[in-house]
Amino acid sequence: MFTPSPMLLKLLYTRGSLHNLPDNGGVAFSLKNRLDTVRLTRIDQVRVNGHALGPEQITIDLGNGNIRPATELGENGGLEFPVGHSITLRLHTNPLPEGMHPVQLQFQTDPFGELQVEVEDAIVQQDQRVRIPRFEPDDYAEAAIQARQRFAQDFTGQEFEHITKYSFDPHALKGNCEHFVGVAQVPIGLAGPLRVNGEHAQGDFLIPLATTEGTLVASYNRGMQLLNLSGGVKCTVIGDAMQRAPVFVFDDARGARDFSRWVEECIDKIRHEAEATSRVAKLQYIDTYLANKFAYLRFNFSTGDAAGQNMVGRATFAACSWILANYQGAPIRNFYLESNFATDKKASQINVMRTRGKRVVAEALIKRDVLQQRMRVTPEQLAYHGQVANVGAFMSGANNNGLHSANGITAMFIATGQDVANVAESSAGIIYSERTPEGDLYLSITIPSLIVATHGGGTGLATQNECLRMLGCTGRGTVNKFAEIVAGVVLAGELSLAAAISSSDWVSSHEQYGRNR
């Protein structure tokens, strides 16, 4: 539990929610708990344009037809208000004209006591746009889904035969997909088995790859065969951190500098506030970066088997609320929970250097005779090719000096229910090759920001969970195993494509396997 500051209390109010109710039924606005679970014990008053309304003039709409007078809040210990939930306050008063209106709300909570929210919001003309059908009581019921399917067909003039067919209970999608109408069936091909010699993943693994790109599965399968003939791929997780990066704004650079020193001194108290929000998230350290009059704090957490972006956002929010309430130095003029310094869903150099998600290394020693017999290339050819490619990657400013790690990562992400947008970060790679004194090829790749999960997100959905079960990556403590498998798959793809380009088989392979014209 943390103490919400006045700056953060404003976030309870849902901006844009102020509206007149039909048939002169009054005025309403919404609150969403973006802070921490509390019990709402009393609403003292709401003031709109300075006009005060007591609890006898207010009702609380909890959704699904559950509407209660505000005067009943004190009964039975109040009303549970969990994080992420919304309520609508209905005010029994005259309609408001279009334009801006100041709104003040005074209320009581357990455990925080009396709180006050002060905002401005606008009454705007009703939106007359066409809207996708939505059923508030149960938006995943068959009737709701069929209504959207009919809407899509009527709106587009098209009939949909395949999108509307699926084999799971749509209610399982709550929290994963809104306005559900059907599925996109992505083909899954099998590659491998791949022998992984990891600390967490040990043995032979059959790899599901969801893709529409011809030759991808065949190429990765070829690389896996080569690694297996050389004893498998050695994989090691060498780092683990998920970030949220708030920024604090001051009047000048000195204020930002002094603040950063205070944060360093208070790290134990900040850690306590952050970790109080989760049984899993652990604050490892905070990096501070100063520029102009801004203090950027990069919170680094471990997040168990979850990818953890939402988890660390909540934990960082709690920590920052404590900071805002307790810092006694130069005034903090503004605060944003994310400053773009975590580079969520974006490739960045800081993630290459400092890690985001899992930092994993996959490496293998490929025998000369295996390379020559199977790939028609020598270790010298591939090592030299790698040097030439390094120059190209450097000149282009790429975040990867390898060839196509995004291919294998994306195909595995789709198959196993990962957040596919994280490929933007996860595709970064540092590849290295050398000819050994014995004349063989050492090849390795470091993936510095592999964002994966075996719990939460889409990993529990029907087909995605089946693919994770295929890999033996369900249940507690399996995320590092999955990360090692992904890294091994990536190295197989790098080896296969490098050999194809060096031996001039690349184009002919695509012509043979990838044509769909």
Q: What CATH number is attached to the domain comprising 226? A: 3.90.770.10
221 band by pLDDT with thresholds 50, 70 and 90: very high
From 61, 213, 258, 338, active-site residue: 213
**pLDDT tens-digit series, residues 314-340:** 899 889 988 998 899 999 999 999 999
Q: Return the axis-axis angle of helices 216-229 and 479-502, rounded to nearest 10°.
A: 100
Active site residue 419: yes
What does the radius of gyration of the chain's CA atoms come to, in whole angstroms? 28
From 419, 425, 440, 484, active-site residue: 419
Active site residue 287: no
Q: Is residue 312 predicted with pLDDT exceeding 70?
A: yes
Strand blocks (E) in 111-179: 113-123
User: Are residues 252 and 269 located together in one domain of the fold?
Assistant: yes
Residue 131 lies in a domain: no
**pLDDT tens-digit series, residues 379-435:** 998 999 889 999 999 999 888 999 999 999 999 999 999 999 999 999 999 999 999
Which H helix or E strand runs over 259? helix 253-265
User: Are residues 98 and 148 located together in one domain of the fold?
Assistant: no
User: Are residues 322 and 382 located together in one domain of the fold?
Assistant: no
Please give the structure tokens belonging to residue 221.
Answer: 């399968």
Sign of CA dihedral 5, 6, 8, 13: positive
From 272, 287, 505, 510, active-site residue: 510
Residue 133 lies in a domain: no
Last residue of a domain, one of 287, 306, 336: 336
Residue 343 lies in a domain: no
Residue 200 lies in a domain: yes
Q: Please give the full DSSP string across 379-420, using - where no structure is assigned.
A: HHHHHHHHHHHHHHHHHHT-SBSSS-HHHHHHHHHHHHT--G
User: Are residues 416 and 448 located together in one domain of the fold?
Assistant: yes
Answer yes or no: are the C-beta atoms of 449 and 356 closer than 8 Å.
yes
Residue 492 lies in a domain: yes
Which H helix or E strand runs over 264? helix 253-265
Q: Is residue 505 predicted with pLDDT exceeding 60?
A: no
Q: Is residue 451 predicted with pLDDT exceeding 60?
A: yes
Active site residue 72: no
Closest CA to 220 of 468, 477, 473, 489: 489
Q: Tell me the residue range of the domain where 108 lies.
A: 6-123
Kindly state the DSSP code that residue 131 receives in the 8-state scheme.
-
Q: Is residue 374 predicted with pLDDT exceeding 90?
A: no
Residue 109 lies in a domain: yes
User: Are residues 80 and 219 located together in one domain of the fold?
Assistant: no
Residue 102 lies in a domain: yes
Amino acid occupying residue 257: R
User: Are residues 219 and 267 located together in one domain of the fold?
Assistant: no
**pTM of the predicted protein model:** 0.84
Last residue of a domain, one of 336, 371, 392: 336
**pLDDT tens-digit series, residues 167-198:** 999 999 998 999 999 999 999 999 989 999 99
Closest CA to 209 of 67, 65, 37, 404: 404
Q: Which residues pair with 21 in a beta bridge?
A: none
User: Are residues 81 and 151 located together in one domain of the fold?
Assistant: no
Residue 55 is part of a domain; what is its CATH number?
2.60.40
User: Are residues 162 and 196 located together in one domain of the fold?
Assistant: no
Distances (CA, A) of 367 to 190, 228, 497: 25, 11, 17
∠ at Cα 355 (354, 356), nearest 5°?
130
* CB-count exposure of residue 288 (10 Å: 0-12, 13-18, 19+): middle
User: Are residues 261 and 325 located together in one domain of the fold?
Assistant: yes
Residue 489 lies in a domain: yes
User: Are residues 372 and 491 located together in one domain of the fold?
Assistant: yes
pLDDT value for 433: 93
Give Cβ neighbours of residue 512 (< 8 Å, ≥ 6 apart).
Answer: none
Amino acid occupying residue 335: F
Closest CA to 486 of 435, 384, 430, 416: 416
Tally Cβ neighbours within 10 Å of residue 244: 28
23 band by pLDDT with thresholds 50, 70 and 90: confident
Q: Is residue 42 predicted with pLDDT exceeding 70?
A: yes
User: Are residues 423 and 494 located together in one domain of the fold?
Assistant: yes
Could you give the number of structural domains in the chain? 4
User: Are residues 395 and 487 located together in one domain of the fold?
Assistant: yes
